[in-house]
Structure 1
């Protein structure tokens, strides 16, 4: 112990003295660490900024301190009195309906939101022109005022001052809507917003029995400190109310969850880039130590213990790694200032952008562990080489592993890296799967590299000297094969996986789903309107198939008497419990479903309420046959026993429900009907005629054209895919850096080879062909691996997780092959050209 600390001090002093020569040879090292660390720091900083803004701006995002939501019914007098006792109440009502021109020539789906005079309690509604809402929404000249999103005006060819019809109400557009404070907390809408008064909505006649309507009661509390306990008090006082309660500290839980998930994915992609960069770290350290052979030999000959020699270069590597981490942290610190400027119109952002030490600290720890994990093995190899071997110019290319302390240190560092990734993840299962896939990919890449070298070693002799030299370079000691395959393989495989998933989803949306999906969904059909409505569809589309089912809305309260809000539900099943779900009843099994377990109820069943549950969602929620489900429908709590599980084809986009009840469950309950029209021969013009006929005859029926909804979904998916591909490109950039570093580290040996071959009569042209053949073989082999691994991963995600048909896309294969060849051949020959220009004499004198 007495001698240990002085030795450490000496090692640090010598390390700092050697670093005076600069960072030559470590630029790739720095870039790899900085890129991976910067990606992780940037993603987590931006994520924390957005989620922090959601938390701090909760009152404005919710437009209240607390929000009570009821579906398909308004609050009873007792419930309203309770809400009024809590503070100032603003009431709004939301629903989807059809807006149309007075002459019936044009119509469009809108997200109508009717508000009272107290709205908004927090935040500001921004309109153009800027005027008070009371003026913009008031009634004048037998027309109610309306504020519409610019998209609605664009779709219907309108301008301010024009009039539209909503149900039976005449609405004059008085302004365009720039922003509303609670838009994000109310969820994503497939149609443009139309803001109007509650009086206008009442005059429209859209609120009828069974209509899909959301009534929101937003409250500015007398005592905000009471907010946390109000949910329990309200549910205890009104156990059958069935309302959904949200407080300002959880103003947009779905948005927060999605931001966290997306951030986790991008963090894992950044970690992949960092791990790929770790290969570059190992290459750079090996090349650096190789260049220090004489120095290391001198230290050893002068009596320096191997422990001290190792510490000297470990300190240097950690110090240089610290510089790379610092650069990455600078990138991560600056990222929110840049990114939030672009996101300001899409997501909540903090009013003053700040630094996020926790995000930066996490990234720094990732960078430090990666640097150490990938540097320690080359250091272990250097420690084992005797001084005599170093003086004989033998490098660190020997086979075998370093001694067990170095293996243990590398293993602990990698375990710490994995543990940190899992511990910091929102969904730890996904993190484990992702890291497992990366580990398997590394093992497979190593096997692929060994297989390529083995095949090259056993290949028959060829007549071409250039090709023979290329094959020899692939399997010789110190060959670049492992580094090239490792560096490019993982980055290309990740890009192939994402490209194939994106391509398959787009194929489903624009191809299979479009062919299978109905042309229209019709919502809020009253019982008295069904016959006339069906007659119109038969007149307009005589070849079409019409499907009708009763529809109610209900919210799941408990399973087997256990409150679902207190259950730890896996991510795959949470959507079923989030808000109200559409439910129905049926005498017979729906045509588009099959029983997987249990039995359907008999005709004219009159026993206890039974329910058929979706098999996939039941599995996620841990349900079994005989369990009970309690749902709140129209203010009543109804408990039904699970009779069977159904396999549902969700991708058909036909009428599907998670829960189908026995008919006796809702006997006598008021409800509306849901219908679809499927006519594969319908042209866009014919669909327009159907839409006009239904909307003009039944203005309170909401018509949704499926193609429009799929177009919006495809557009959103395209935006997400662009962001994901940009993040995945970070991993590819890291791969390219590692490739460049690997080729650069092999330049010394290549220089000796080129000089000797030129001395023996080899021409520059022949050597260029030889190197080109070598890089082409390695690039092709890497592309084949990336296609195989990426296709397998994409198939698993699409077919097993998304439950969709997976198709191989040839264009992705061609692009991957071209990219691999361009990168390997291009970067390889760029470095080789300089090698071939070396004069022979100086190199020969060093041999």
Structure 2
């Protein structure tokens, strides 16, 4: 039976002597727990604020959206207020600077939003806009881009309007949305005058409704939902908007919590390594206690009590720091948030973080502590390390299995998906395992192959990596994994940007004109020709929908078993198709062949994009009936194409043969290539003035926008990865302080036999150079592997090695490790020789 009183009394006495060391041991988890508590608190507050501001997210009780103009008299009769919006992508022109930009034009009628407001500068801007006539509200990002001021004019299509306000915030919109598609609000009475609503324009007609408080909106929706689905009407309620927004940001906070959890795990690896050194120092004392008759489990309990107390203190400190840190997160994530986030302490997050810290500290400390069970009283006479290896101790295997089970359980708690939790656990296991093997392999290789010919400082520094009380494993695991996270981020960001920039090289087109009406094609070609620009592609586009596949309508499809059912989006979506009998450079024929159409008696064979066909269980020879402006058109799948959608080109899911759709209503796309950015801007502004309804996609602007978005996303990820780097640094500092006495003894012995101060400094600097370069190198190898897998399997882009960020990260991490080691060496060299020898 365990004597608990004795164990607690001994733990109390031990804390007086070794408390400071144990504080350093467990301090490694503080940063991770702080990150975990901050992110969880932020997520809880965000969830509450989404609930509280749900009506402001939508701005109405119900919104109904369709691609064609339609009325909803049965809904209007029950509403207390209604508003109407027509929105579409279109070029706008700033006469003051003579430049243009593709934006989201929103023609508004009514007092939308009914909940919340269009926040403008000046505040009177919204009221001025509501008066109608030639007034506009312009997104602040767009105003800043062109240096526009309130009172300036903006040309939308054929109409010129006065800017009466800079839009600061729109219900349900965040900074990323404003970057991708900045909005320009115009009064509905100016829409017709703009001349922008023409055939082929992708226009959305949105009706907003406000109902009496007592009306059950969900019951109203359920009454008409089936009819709306058939009519391809999208509907959104406060509840559905709240659910979708909540899910999106729950996924964000879960991801960030996993990043914070990695920081906790890094800290705990440092705890385990530090406890391992601590246990080795205590082995002689343990052997004496064993001679006095104390059982090994009682000794283990003494040190476990100490670790639990220190783990609790470290977790509480981390939780307190996290509660403070959450005040910063709304500023960090401001560009991603559709609501204003309040800041208050989430006690649920504090309790969860504290318990997580204590539990994981105990689990990681148990691995080295269990060695004490095998210490024999004979060690007082033969002071060698008699600890049993992992392979010969089943109990330590059980602890290792419990650690993996805890990691899987925690990740499942956050992700709520078994497969994702398994992937995360597998990644953690692989990363730690790879770095652990690197550390062990390095130590073994140095011990066996260390060349005698090396100069003395280099040989001594390398030998320090495998000598007793070394921190090679813990430092490589913590600093290496933190480096891997930062390196992966840099690689992926550069890969995505390079993929887009690649399209602006060589003979790749860089400017696309769309929404061109048939009568404008020849005129536009003439303008481009007069400016010396080639017509790389001229593509007619016809809009249509799918009525049947193999005789099955949408209703028939819904009755099929899950494994046979196609996605409803195939029946509900609006297809934009073209017609030609040849492939273009972004396409590759995978199966079947392109079959030309010869006469009205002949069958029509279409070509479908391979991935879309597979997702919708479409096979070669299947019959697909399209609805072309109310006219059914029966076709058969004749081939599958692999399409590179990342290249700037007119890529389509469905391609018809020639001589089938020539007489169908259509619009056109022209693609060209300009010599430089200035020519791009000039031709864009010229086209907007002469053809106001035509929209222009400028690749350089796309790259600019993508860089802006990726910089915001990468800032958030870097902010979270910083916690892992800080944890690694804290583990490094703790490890240096823990092994300080051992280092002092070694340096004194070297000084006793004649080593001079410069030599000792060189030995320490080289040791930490080797440690830092190994950790950074191992982490970067992991980041290259992760970036390759993400590029190939997730983003489906070709992987290219990026040497500059790789060398930059390697250099910074290595120099930081050397610097901290050098600072520690200065204090070690100040120790007096006689004091250590007496000790």
Indicate whether 1:759 and 2:760 are aligned.
no
Using the TM superposition, give the Cα deviation of residue 380 of structure 1 relative to its aligned residue in structure 2, in angstroms.
0.6
Specify the alignment match of 2:531 in structure 1.
540
Structure 1 residue 116 corresponds to structure 2 residue 106:
no
How do residues 676-755 of structure 1 correspond to structure 2 at under 5 angstroms?
676-680=670-674, 682-755=675-748
Aligned to 1:26: 22
Quick check: 373-382 or 604-613, which moved more? 604-613
Q: Which residue matches 2:64? A: 68
In 2, Cα distance between equivalents of 1:101 and 1:831: 61
Deviation at 1:608, TM superposition (A): 8.3
After superposition, what is the alpha-carbon deviation per residue over 1:71-92, rounded to whole angstroms, capped at 9, x for unaligned? 2x111x4x44445445532111
Residue of structure 2 equivalent to 1:268: 258
**CA deviation digits over 1:478-533, x for unaligned, max 9?**
44433333332222222222222222223333444565653322232222322322
- Say if 1:398 and 1:590 are closer, same or farther in 2 by CA, change over 3 A: same
Task: Report matched runs for 1:785-800 at 5 Å.
Answer: 785-800=778-793
Q: Which of 479, 485, 488 is the equivalent residue of 2:479?
A: 488
Whether the 8 Å CA contact 1:28–1:280 is kept in 2: the answer is no
Pick from 535, 538, 543 the counterpart of residue 552 of structure 1.
543
Query: 2:36 matched to which residue of 1?
Result: 40
Secondary structure at the counterpart of residue 651 of structure 1:
coil
Cα distance in 2 between the residues matched to 1:188 and 1:540: 33
Q: Which residue pairs with 1:318 in the alignment?
A: 308
Where in structure 2 are the equivalents of 1:167-186 lying within 5 Å? 167-184=157-174
Q: For 1:347 and 1:18, locate their aligned partners in 2 and report how far apart those are by CA, in whole Å.
A: 50
In 2, Cα distance between the equivalents of 1:360 and 1:578? 48
State the alpha-carbon separation in 2 of the partners of residues 325 and 450 from structure 1.
30
Task: Rate the CA distance shift 1:186–1:839 in 2: closer, same or farther, 3 A.
Answer: closer
Contact 1:558 1:631 survives alignment (8 Å):
no
CA contact (8 A) 2:411 2:424 kept: no
State how far apart, in whole Å, the 2-side matches of 1:124 and 1:285 are: 57
1:378 equivalenced with 2:373 (yes/no): no
Structure 2 residue 345 is matched with structure 1 residue 355:
yes
| Residue matched to 2:515 | 524
Q: Distance in 2 between matches of 1:466 and 1:67?
A: 74
Note if contact 2:487-2:780 (Cα within 8 Å) is conserved in structure 1: yes
Structure 1 residues 645 and 485 mapped into 2: Cα distance closer, same or farther (>3 Å)? same
**Distance of 2:495 and 2:798 partners within structure 1:** 8
> Whole-Å Cα distance in 2 between the matches of residues 52 and 627 of structure 1?
49
Unaligned runs of 5+ residues in structure 1 are: none
**Cα drift, residue 609 of structure 1:** 8.1
CA distance in 1, matches of 2:570, 2:326: 34
- Cα distance in 1 for partners of 2:337, 2:449 equals 59
Which residue number in structure 2 is paired with residue 655 of structure 1? 650
Instruction: Rate the CA distance shift 1:676–1:356 in 2: closer, same or farther, 3 A.
Output: farther
The alpha carbon displacement at 1:13 in A equals 4.9
* Residues 290 and 396, structure 1, Cα contact 8 Å, conserved in 2: no
CA distance in 1, matches of 2:572, 2:6: 66
User: Matched residue of 2:476: which SS?
Assistant: helix
Which stretch has the larger CA shift, 731-740 or 470-479?
470-479
Residue pairs, 1:817-832, within 5 angstroms:
817-832=810-825
Q: Secondary structure at the match of 2:711?
A: helix
SS of equivalent to 2:112: coil
Is the Cα contact below 8 Å between 2:46 and 2:341 reproduced in 1? no
State the SS of the aligned residue for 1:25.
helix
Q: Aligned residue for 2:640?
A: 645
**Structure 1: distance between partners of 2:756 and 2:767:** 17
Q: CA deviation at 1:562?
A: 7.0
Quote the Cα distance in structure 2 between the aligned partners of 1:556 and 1:370: 57
Residues 743 and 104 (structure 1), Cα distance of their counterparts in 2 relative to 1, 3 Å cut: closer
Conserved in 2, the CA contact under 8 Å of 1:776 and 1:825? yes
The unaligned stretches of length 5 or more in structure 2 are none
- The structural deviation recorded for 1:242 is 0.4
Structure 2 residue corresponding to 1:461, chosen from 428, 452, 470: 452
Shift of 1:756: 2.5
State the 1:239 CA deviation: 4.8
Distance 1:622 1:42 in 2: 45
Local SS of the residue matching 2:230: coil
- Which of 403, 417, 426 is 1:413 aligned to? 403
| C-alpha separation in 1, matches of 2:704 and 2:771 | 41
Q: Which residue of 1 aligns with 2:491?
A: 500
Distance 1:173 1:119, change over 3 A: same
TM-score normalised over the length of structure 2: 0.88
| Counterpart Cα distance in 1 of 2:380 and 2:549 | 73
> Following TM superposition, by how much is the alpha carbon of 1:463 offset from its aligned partner in structure 2, in angstroms?
5.7
**CA deviation digits over 1:596-624, x for unaligned, max 9?**
23444542587888764433455566765
Say if 2:827 is the partner of 1:834.
Answer: yes
Change (3 A) 1:744 1:598: farther
For residues 466-485 of structure 1, the C-alpha deviation after alignment (integer angstroms, 9 at most, x for no partner) is 23323333344544433333
Distance, in Å, in 2 between the alignment partners of 1:16 and 1:781 is 39
For residues 59 and 609 of structure 1, the distance between their equivalents in structure 2, rounded to whole angstroms, comes to: 49
1:633 shift after superposition: 8.2
2:136 equivalent to 1:136 = no
- CA 1:710 to 1:734, structure 2 compared with 1: closer, same or farther past 3 Å? same
Seen in structure 2, the aligned counterparts of structure 1 residues 354 and 368 have a Cα distance that, compared at 3 Å, is: same
Q: Distance in 1 between matches of 2:701 and 2:376?
A: 72
- For the aligned residue pairs, the C-alpha RMSD in angstroms reads 3.9
Residues 592, 639 of structure 2: 8 Å contact kept: yes
SS in 2 for 1:120: coil
Within 1, Cα distance between the matches of 2:768 and 2:776? 12
- In 2, the alpha carbon distance for the partners of 1:61 and 1:111 equals 19
> Are 1:56 and 1:249, in contact at CA under 8 Å, matched by a contact in 2?
no
The 10-residue stretch of structure 1 (710-719 or 760-769) with the greater mean CA deviation from structure 2:
760-769
Aligned positions of 1:561-640 closer than 5 A: 583-591=576-584, 592-604=586-598, 612-617=607-612
Aligned to 1:672: 667
Cα distance, 1:378 vs. partner? Answer: 0.8
Cα separation, 1, equivalents of 2:748 and 2:502? 59
| Structure 1 residues 198-252: Cα deviation after superposition (integer angstroms, max 9, x where no partner) | 1111222211222211111122134666333444432323553101112212327
Rounded to whole Å, the distance in 2 between the matches of 1:585 and 1:601 is: 15
Distance verdict in 2 for CA 1:749–1:104, change over 3 Å? closer
The alpha-carbon distance between structure 1 residues 128 and 63, as it changes in their structure 2 partners (threshold 3 A), is: same
Contact 2:510 2:672 in 1 (8 A): yes
**What is the deviation of 1:266?**
2.5
CA contact (8 A) 2:58 2:241 kept: yes
**Alpha-carbon distance between aligned partners in 2 of 1:435 and 1:631, rounded to the nearest angstrom:** 47
Query: Which of 240, 259, 265 is equivalent to 2:249?
Result: 259
Instruction: Using the TM superposition, give the Cα deviation of residue 724 of structure 1 relative to its aligned residue in structure 2, in angstroms.
Output: 1.2
Distance 1:665 1:241 in 2: 27
Determine if the alignment matches structure 1 residue 307 to structure 2 residue 297. yes
Distance 1:296 1:624 in 2: 73
Deviates more, 1:682-691 or 1:305-314: 682-691
Distance, in Å, in 2 between the alignment partners of 1:770 and 1:762 is 11
**Offset, 1:320:** 1.2
User: Using a 3 Å threshold, how does the CA distance of structure 1 residues 326 and 808 change in structure 2: closer, same or farther?
Assistant: same
Contact conserved, 2:283 with 2:375, CA < 8 A, in 1? no
Cα pair distance change 1:486/1:104, threshold 3 Å:
closer
Does the CA contact (< 8 Å) of 2:596 and 2:658 recur in 1? no
**Bigger shift: 704-713 or 417-426?**
417-426
Alignment of 1:420-431 (within 5 A): 420-425=410-415, 429-431=419-421
Deviation of residue 279 (structure 1)? 1.6
Decide whether the 8 Å contact of 2:87 with 2:105 is kept in 1: yes
